[in-house]
Each structure stands twice: as C-alpha cells, then as structure tokens.
Amino acid sequence: MSVTVAIVGRPNVGKSTLFNRLVGRKIALVDDTPGVTRDRREGQGRIGDLTFTLVDTAGYEDANDDSLEARMRAQTEMAIAEADIILFMIDARAGVTPTDEHFARLLRRADKNIHLVANKAEGKAAEPGLMEAYSLGFGEAIPLSAEHGLGLADLYAIVSEAVETQEEKKAEAAAPKETDYDMAHRPVVDVDVLEDEGEDQTGDTAPMRWDPNRYLNVAIIGRPNSGKSTLINRMVGEERLLTGPEAGITRDSIMVPWEWEGRVINLVDTAGIRRKSRVQHKLEKLSVSDSLRSIQYAEVVVLLLDATIPFEKQDLQLADLVEREGRAMVIAVNKWDLIENKNAKILELRETCERMLPQLRGIPLVTLSGLQGRNIDKLMKAIFDIERVWNVRIRTAKLNRWLADMIEHHPPPAISGRRLKIRYMTQAKTRPPSFIIFCSRPEALPKAYQRYLIHGLRQDFGLPGTTIRLWVRGGKNPYVKDEGAR
C-alpha cells in the first residue's frame, strides 16, 4: 500500500494548486474564489522517483451546524483520519490567521505525522508569515511555492522517510485505493475488428475480444440536484461525497472505485450540467468542462433524471452528447419514491423516451431512489447489459444475408434515374458497433435509407439503446472476384 498524503488548510491557500503540481496534471479546479474544492479528491502524486497517494481537501472552516461548510469540514476530517502524512498549508503572505490557529489545535489532537508548509513563499513579502508560523507549534514551516514548483525537495525528504517507515509497518495485501481517473483508466473505444475474426465459426455473433471481468468506468451525469452524489454514496455504502439540498454542491469530477459482484466499478461523480446560456461564472464553466471530460473517460454513462421533472431540454442534449461520443448509456430516473401513481408515470416515461430519443431506441430506463437505495441492483444489471451490447461483434456472413433481405424488402431509391447498388457490408469496429456499407455511389445513398438500415440492425441483432455508426464507402464486394468484369 502506498503512503497517503493529505493536503489540508483553510480556503484559498493553494492546496489544489499543489495537488495539480504533484500529480503532474491540472485535475483539480483552481480559481481565486475561496472554497472551490468541496469533495475529497485523490490522485497519484510524484516527486522524483517517489509515488504516493495524494488527497486534496476542502478548505477548513469553523462550522459545526448542518450547513454546507460543516459537511465540507466533515469530509476534511475523514481525509485526516485516513492519511499517513498531513501537509498543513498556510498562506505565507497572509500570515497566521485565527482559522489557522483553530485548525492547528484540531490537528494536534489527531496524533498524525504533520508537517507545516507555507505556500506563496516566493519573495520577501512572505518572510513575516514564515516567522509567525512558529506560533502554530509545528516547528519551522517549509517554504513552498506551489505555483512555481519551489520547495519540492523538502517535500521529497518528508515523503521518502514516510515511505521507508510504511514499508516496514503495512502488510502487502490491501484493498485498492480510490484514485482519480487518469490515462491508466482511459477506456478502450472504437476497437478495430480483425478482417478474419471469427469467420470460420458458426453462429450469428463472433467472440468478443473484451474482458467482462476488467474494471468498468461508469460516469453519472445529469442536471444539478438530480441526486448523483447521493446515489453514489448509497452504492458504496458510505458518505464518500458531499451531499445536501443545495444545487451545485459538486464541482470536481470525483472517481470512486467500488466492487459489485466481484468486479471493480469506477464510479465517476460529476458536477450538474445546466443549459449553456445559464452558465455565466468562470468556476461553473470549469466544473461543466470537467463533467464533459468525464464522459470521454467513461465506458458506460448513466444519465440521471429527476422523476419530478424528467426529460427537460438539457437532459435530451446530454443524451445526444453521449450518443455522439459513442458511449453506452443507461437512463436512470431518480427520486422515484416521490411519485404516487408509479404505473402511469413509468408508461409516460417510456413513451417520452422513445419519442424524444429515436436515435437510441430501446435504451434501458431504470427507476430508482438513491436516497433509499432502491433498485440499485436493477441499475447495475442494465449497465452490464448495455455494456455487452456495446461490445457486440456480428459475423460478416450473417450481416450480408441480413442485408440482402433488407434490400429485397425495401430496395434503395433511384437517384437521378440510376438505381443505387449496395454490394457488401461488414463490421469495422466495436465499442460502439460500427459498420461499413460498400455501394456504387456512396454520396447518393439517402440519410433516410441509412436510418432504415440502422433501425433494422438494432431490431434484428438485438442492439437496443446503443450508438450504431454506419459508414458508406465506394467499392465492390471483395468476395465476388468477377463483379468488376460484368
């Protein structure tokens, strides 16, 4: 198990800036506004040859009621309890504040390996603050500039010492730590299908080249206050993410690894996405951008709707975005416990879904209650089912027998007095299923006829709710050698 290092301190001292510096990428949102970070965020930090688990936390505020600040403080205290090393950060230019002094008293009671770091220490303006730092009782503060990368050598010495101690104390076997999504978790999409893959075997579908036991990246997206964080907390069985009645609490996209039926599921909580015209502030724009980026890291996307106001325009735009990205998608209707006439409501939802999202006909729709934990098993079944459809591989011979039947039932129209000749069809990629049709004049094949073929593929090969890509190319059937001579 790697050493866990938590960065703590009052708001706006530069914790997220140091976090980004040590993980090597701008993962955490950074802004001059105090209180940007609200949830714990974990990532793999690196200094020289040392790697460790790094935790960014919300700015500490002295609040003990049921306010948002108090819930943020509780998340910070949980990070302190789980960490091996605490980097207590202050602002060297601002000096020691009453909040710093209060936080220092709390940390002393935690009985942890605590190191005081004074950020923004570049220049002479920081010297008075460095002297004041002695009053906190943690010895000499480490002068640091997270923005410019100064003082990392001292951090290296601290972490390396802890690593040596950790290797002696901790057992080798340990549960996987939560880590932020990064390149190691980037999904495999647009997988090429080999030309001769499975062609010598019987059956309609070829063997799938994906591993159903591999970890699965699942992003949960939706409008603000639809219950995304509450749902993930219920799924993992702990208050891992900050929740509350206020809309827009979540700002960063946070990955939470979770195990379901022996398989690791990387759940990604995202900030609520409002209509673009309503997003005015820079901080919200950063949050929305982070949420949209999380879709690219997902293999399955759960679009979470509010049962009391489902299928708003923004919901439909998000569904269209996921479809264009080519990700598998499940629609989950949350807050189902608030609906009285459930039978009539579910019929209305399914009719609306089919009418509003014809490009995803048959998409799984699951009703649930994140607050009460109802139907989470049905949600996971729908996720696994749509993942299997997303990975399906159809044999070329079966495709072309089906294509001949489709053409016989409804031939392509004549364009400018010349009838189009569709010669051949094959599957080029999976994740999502992607097909190529070869015809005499590809630019002339109407979009309506392409939709006819896509609908047929979805219906006849059992591909409900997934993106289907269809490309039209010119060329002849490679299996008819003398076609060009006729």
**pLDDT category of residue 175 using cuts at 50, 70 and 90:** very low
Average pLDDT over residues 297-306: 94
Give per-residue pLDDT as tens, 240-293.
Answer: 877 766 655 666 678 889 999 999 999 998 877 765 555 445 544 566 677 788
What letter does residue 445 receive in the DSSP assignment?
S
Average pLDDT over residues 71-79: 82
Give Cα separations from 379 to 210, 220, 365, 366 (angstroms). Answer: 21, 12, 9, 6
- Give a three-class secondary structure readout of 152-206: HHHHHHHHHHHHHHHHHHCCCCCCCCCCCCCHHHCCCCCEECCCCCCCCCCCCEC
The 10 Å Cβ neighbour count of residue 165 is 13
**pLDDT category of residue 199 using cuts at 50, 70 and 90:** very low
**pLDDT category of residue 467 using cuts at 50, 70 and 90:** very high
- Residue 178: pLDDT above 60? no
Average pLDDT over residues 219-238: 91
Q: Using an 8 Å Cβ cutoff, are 304 and 226 in contact?
A: yes
Tell which phi-psi region holds residue 18, choosing left (phi > 0), alpha (psi between -120 and 50) or beta. alpha
What letter does residue 442 receive in the DSSP assignment?
G
SS3 366: strand
- Residue 377: pLDDT above 90? yes
Average pLDDT over residues 90-104: 91
- Residue 425: pLDDT above 70? yes
**How high is the pLDDT of residue 224?**
87
**Which candidate, 343, 185, 336, 366, places its Cα nearest to that of 267?**
185
Please identify which residue in the block is written with the tokens 């209060």: 102
Please indicate whether residue 471 or residue 149 has the higher confidence score (pLDDT): 471
- Residue 11: pLDDT above 70? yes
DSSP string, 92-150: TTT---HHHHHHHHHHHHHT-EEEEEEES--SGGGHHHHHHGGGGSS-S-EE-BTTTTB
Average pLDDT over residues 12-32: 82
User: What's phi and psi for 370, nearest 5 deg?
Assistant: -65, -35
- Cβ burial, residue 211 (10 Å; 0-12/13-18/19+): exposed
Average pLDDT over residues 393-411: 94
Mean model confidence pLDDT for the chain: 83
422-430 β-sheet, strand order: 191-192, 422-430, 434-439, 469-474
Q: Report d(CA 337, CA 340) in Å as an integer.
A: 8
> What are the residues whose beta carbons fall under 8 Å from the beta carbon of 92, sequence distance 6 or more?
118, 119, 120, 121, 126, 129, 130, 133, 141, 143
Give per-residue pLDDT as tens, 340-363.
Answer: 999 999 999 999 999 999 999 999
Q: Report d(CA 368, CA 226) in Å as an integer.
A: 12
Length of the chain: 486
Q: Report d(CA 121, CA 116) in Å as an integer.
A: 13
What DSSP element (H or E) covers 329?
strand 328-334
- Residue 92: pLDDT above 60? yes
**How high is the pLDDT of residue 202?**
43
Give Cα separations from 340 to 60, 336, 343, 345 (angstroms). Answer: 41, 9, 9, 9
Q: Using an 8 Å Cβ cutoff, are 83 and 6 in contact?
A: yes
Q: Using an 8 Å Cβ cutoff, are 347 and 354 in contact?
A: no
Tokens of 39: 């949830």
- Residue 57: pLDDT above 80? yes
Give Cα separations from 221 to 75, 196, 268, 312 (angstroms). Answer: 22, 38, 9, 14
Q: Report d(CA 430, CA 454) in Å as an integer.
A: 15
Average pLDDT over residues 208-213: 68
What DSSP element (H or E) covers 451?
helix 447-460
Q: 91 - beta bridge partners?
A: 119
Q: Report d(CA 258, CA 317) in Å as an integer.
A: 29
- Residue 50: pLDDT above 60? yes
Q: Report d(CA 60, CA 99) in Å as an integer.
A: 8
**How high is the pLDDT of residue 30?**
59
Q: Using an 8 Å Cβ cutoff, are 197 and 392 in contact?
A: no
What letter does residue 207 receive in the DSSP assignment?
P
Return the percentage of the chain with pLDDT > 90, whole number.
Answer: 49
Q: Using an 8 Å Cβ cutoff, are 396 and 387 in contact?
A: no
Average pLDDT over residues 462-486: 75
**pLDDT category of residue 109 using cuts at 50, 70 and 90:** confident
**Which candidate, 277, 357, 293, places its Cα nearest to that of 325?**
293
Angle 240-331-324 from CA coordinates, rounded to 5°: 105
Angle 234-239-240 from CA coordinates, rounded to 5°: 100
Tokens of 69: 């600040």
Return the percentage of the chain with pLDDT > 70, whole number.
Answer: 81
